[in-house]
Amino acid sequence: MDALQLLVAGVSQGCVYGLIALGFVLIYKATEVVNFAQGELMMIGAFIAYTFINILAWPYFYGVLATLLSMAVIGVVLERLLIRPMLGEPPFAVLMLTIGLGFLLRAVAGAIWGAEPKTLSTPYASDVLQLGEIIVGYGNLAIVLGTGVLCLALFLFFRYSRLGIAMQAASQNQLAAVYSGIPVARLVTGVWAVSALIAAIAGVLVAPVSLIDPQIGFIGVKAFAAAIVGGFGSLPGAMVGGLLIGIAEQFAGLYLPPGFSDVTAYIILLVMLFVRPQGIFASMMQKKV
Amino acid sequence: MSDLLTLSNVETYYGPVMAIRGVSMTVRTGDVTCLLGANGAGKTTVLKTISGAMEPQKGEILFNGESLKGLAPDVIARRGIAHVPEGREVFAFLSVEDNLKMGAYSRRDSRVASDLALVYDYFPVLRDKRRQSAALLSGGQQQMLAIGRALMLRPQLMLLDEPSLGLSPKLVAEIADIIVRLNQEQGVTVLLVEQNAAMALSRSDFGYVLENGRIVMEDKAAVLADAPDVQEFYLGMKDDGVRGGRRWKKRKTWR
């Protein structure tokens, strides 16, 4: 039963990694930019939810809705203000910019909300679900369910909606998309909004389970490993990579000496890069010359 | 007939390198106009400059009498210029049908569905493979898909960059015939860039010859096809039977 209990905890943690990894992959596929501030966006999302729900005492549902909206707006503003002017600069420069943005967001969050950990109050988080001998907190259940619903929504969006297909088209062949009259610049802004939205959802889901402080964005580093393990550029891969790392961490925590749990993500990453460098879901086909 | 597209003294640079050096040309409504030239003559650059992917340093481009200066390429596409780039750039991981629908992304009218059927009528092979991803198509089919996608924009002007590149002679003739049919049946004005001068001249109304970024000849296609310089340098014909040699001594009349 121990193993099953660990699995549940691992899946829930893995979903969080997966959600952040989704944000990495979305932006990377659309713009070939790696947004290293994705974890910090999650942190900001959690703090905004805390502000609405705990400080302003809005009802949970409206607080979450307001958080999602504000984060989408923040995504748009970041793209317009920081990323678009960098168009045509080397990818390395943009990458440094996003790392800088991460530092900035941490500092800003520390200045506004302070360094001591906060808890987001929810109507559900304190309860647990007893399934035989396994105990699942509602907070963890919400993470898994929320992630599932979000993945389904993303799948439907990219598979069937005109806008979603256009976003895929723009990421697959920017030149052809532009020549077809697709407003690629506007779609890229949209991708940033979606990706900030996902970060916000991750933040809202994770905040009731773990404490919120300006440092929780560092989880993004592990999520980045998850994205690579899944095959950078594959949305299902990001989820699978996240789950893999989340589950492995839990088991390493129990069965391996102390300290191993924190490096599991990187061990998996290293092994993956040796064995199958293109990741689990290698969606990137070699570009034909 | 009226002029659909006019370039006057257009100069475009790649960094410090001047790729086209003062090109002036006209595409008349309803014509198939071809632009011939060797590798590196600047043909593709001319098309990229028209479609807005490159910004001209000097000169003016008028489409329907309006300047295209400073417009983003997707805006220019929505004005009615569909650019089919070299190397058949398709959306490799989208299905054939989604590729075509993306061509009509900017359109809001109700004729998109009937236009899709129309594209399938011109290229029946695409209808057979409409659920497959575009990456699985052969080169010729991808070229057809790229042309079909451009048609979905319902453009006034179609810019075709080397549609014959890398295709078998049979396919080249097939695609060339379809281009002519699109021109005649759908009223699409065509600017065709080609290295395959024989194919291009036989299908065009008017032709330009581009060399080192300059227009060196322009005339009706039939006249160009008979011009000795074009015959020798672009159509590979010789006026005497001497093997080799001559080519190096003879100078082009425009030099």
- Among B89, B174, B170, B81, CA closest to B134: B89
Residue pair A21/A227 in contact by the 8 Å Cβ criterion? yes
Model pLDDT, residue B247: 52
**B128 or B245, greater pLDDT:** B128
Q: Residue B117 pLDDT > 80, yes or no?
A: yes
- Statement: residue A61 has pLDDT above 70: yes
pLDDT score of B153 more than 80 = yes
Contacts of B191 in chain A (CB under 8 A): none
Apex A226 CA angle, A223 and A228, nearest 5: 115
Across chain A, mean pLDDT equals 89
What local confidence, expressed as pLDDT, does residue A286 receive?
Answer: 44
* Interatomic CA distance for residues B145 and B119, integer angstroms: 9
Distance CA A281, CA B51 (A): 36
Determine whether B107 is exposed, middle or buried from the number of CB atoms within 10 Å of its CB (0-12, 13-18, 19+): middle
pLDDT over 80 at B206, yes or no? yes
Indicate yes or no: CB of B90 within 8 angstroms of CB of A176: yes
- Which residues touch B242 (CB under 8 Å, ≥6 apart)? none
- The span from the CA of A192 to the CA of A73, in Å, is 9
Q: CB-based contacts of A2: which residues, under 8 Å, 6+ apart?
A: A254
Predicted local distance difference test score (pLDDT) of residue B141: 92
Percent of chain B at pLDDT exceeding 70: 93
* Per-residue pLDDT, B1: 60
Q: Given this model, what pLDDT does residue A1 score?
A: 61
Q: Which of B99, B101, B153 sits opposite A181 (nearest CB)?
A: B153
Task: Find, in chain B, the residue whose alpha carbon is nearest to that of A168.
Answer: B94
Q: Provide the 10 A C-beta neighbour count for residue A251.
A: 18
Helix (H, G, I), strand (E, B) or coil at B66: strand
Rounded mean pLDDT of A8-16?
Answer: 92
**DSSP code at position B36:** E
What 3-state DSSP class applies to A45?
helix
Residues in chain B within 8 Å Cβ distance of A283: 93
Closest CA to B84 of B20, B165, B149: B149
| Banded pLDDT at A45 (limits 50, 70, 90) | very high
Q: Residue A114: left (phi > 0), alpha (psi -120 to 50), or beta?
A: left
Which of A120-129, B156-165, B189-198 is least confident?
A120-129
Average pLDDT on A3-14 reads 89
3-state secondary structure of B214: strand
**Ranges of each domain in chain A:** 2-214
The tokens of A112 are what? Answer: 């506004």
pLDDT grade for A73, boundaries at 50, 70 and 90: very high
* A176 interaction partners in chain B (CB closer than 8 Å): 85, 89-91, 146, 149
CB contact under 8 A, A172 and B91: yes
- Per-residue pLDDT reduced to its tens digit, A197-240: 999 999 999 988 888 999 998 999 999 999 999 888 788 889 99
The mean pLDDT value for A261-268 works out to: 89
What ranges in chain B are assigned the alpha helix state H?
A: 43-51, 73-79, 96-103, 112-122, 124-128, 139-152, 169-186, 197-203, 221-226, 228-233, 246-249
Contact A171, B93 (CB under 8 A): no
Per DSSP, A216 falls in state: G
User: SS3 of A129, please?
Assistant: strand
Q: What is the dihedral of CA B216, B220, B223, B226, to 10 degrees?
A: 70
In Å, how far are A97, A192, B142 from A82, measured between CA atoms?
8, 12, 37
Which residues of chain B have a Cβ shorter than 8 Å from any chain A Cβ?
51, 53, 72-74, 77-78, 82-85, 89-94, 98-99, 101-103, 105-106, 135, 146, 149-150, 152-153
Please name which of A192, A190, A167 lies closest in space to residue A177, comparing C-alpha atoms: A167
Domain limits, chain B: 3-87+157-246
B135 chain-A contacts, CB cut-off 8 A: 285
Residues ≥6 apart with Cβ < 8 Å to A36: A95, A98, A99, A101, A102, A220, A224
| pLDDT for residue B40 is more than 90 | no
A184 touches chain B (CB under 8 A): yes
pLDDT band at B255 (very low <50, low <70, confident <90, very high): low
Task: Give the pLDDT band (50/70/90) at residue A288.
Answer: very low
Among A285, A29, A16, residue whose Cα is nearest residue A147: A16
- HEC profile of A247-274: HHHHHHHHHCCCCHHHHHHHHHHHHHHH
Q: What is the pLDDT of residues B172-204, one digit of tens each?
A: 999 999 999 999 999 999 999 988 888 899 999
Average pLDDT across chain B, whole number: 88
Residue A247 in contact with residue A7, Cβ under 8 Å? yes
Region A180-209 average pLDDT:
93
Instruction: Quickly count: other Cβ atoms within 10 Å of residue B180's Cβ.
Output: 15
3-state SS string over A151-192?
HHHHHHHHHHCHHHHHHHHHHHCHHHHHHCCCCHHHHHHHHH
| Interatomic CA distance for residues B27 and B33, integer angstroms | 6
CA distances from A26 to A34, A77, B10 (A): 9, 17, 39
d(CA A232, CA A72): 23
Whether the pLDDT of residue B164 is over 50: the answer is: yes
On whether the CB atoms of residues A200 and A45 are closer than 8 A, the answer is yes
C-alpha closest to that of B152 among B181, B117, B184, B127: B117
Could you tell me which residues come within 8 angstroms of residue A111 by beta carbon, excluding any fewer than 6 positions away? none
- Chain B interface includes A1 (CB < 8 A): no
User: Which of the residues A179, A189, A234, A283 would you substitute to probe the B interface, choosing the one with the greatest number of B C-beta atoms within 10 Å?
Assistant: A179
Note the ipTM here. Answer: 0.86
User: What's residue B253's pLDDT?
Assistant: 67
Query: What pLDDT does B114 receive?
Result: 92
CB contact under 8 A, A182 and B78: no
pLDDT band at A289 (very low <50, low <70, confident <90, very high): very low
Among the listed residues B253, B248, B219, the one whose alpha carbon sits nearest the alpha carbon of residue B36: B219
Nearest CA to B50 among B37, B35, B64, B69?
A: B69
Give me the total of CB pairs closer than 8 Å, taking one residue from chain A and one from chain B: 82
**Nearest-by-Cβ selection for B149 from A172, A175, A180:** A180
- pLDDT reported for residue B252: 67
Is B241's pLDDT higher than 60? no
Are B64 and B223 within 8 A, CB to CB? no
**Contact B105/A166, CB-based, under 8 Å?**
yes
Q: Which residue of A has its CA nearest to B93?
A: A172
Cβ(A105)–Cβ(A119) under 8 Å?
Answer: no
Which helix (H) or strand (E) is A112 found in, with range?
helix A91-113
The answer on pLDDT for A287 being more than 50 is: no
Place B251 in a pLDDT band, splitting at 50, 70 and 90: low
Q: How confident is the model at residue A256 (pLDDT cuts 50, 70, 90)?
A: confident
Q: What class is the B3-87+157-246 domain?
A: alpha beta
Q: Which residue has the tokens 């501030």?
A: A37
Q: Which of A87, A178, A180 to mutate to test the interface with B (most CBs of B within 10 A)?
A: A180
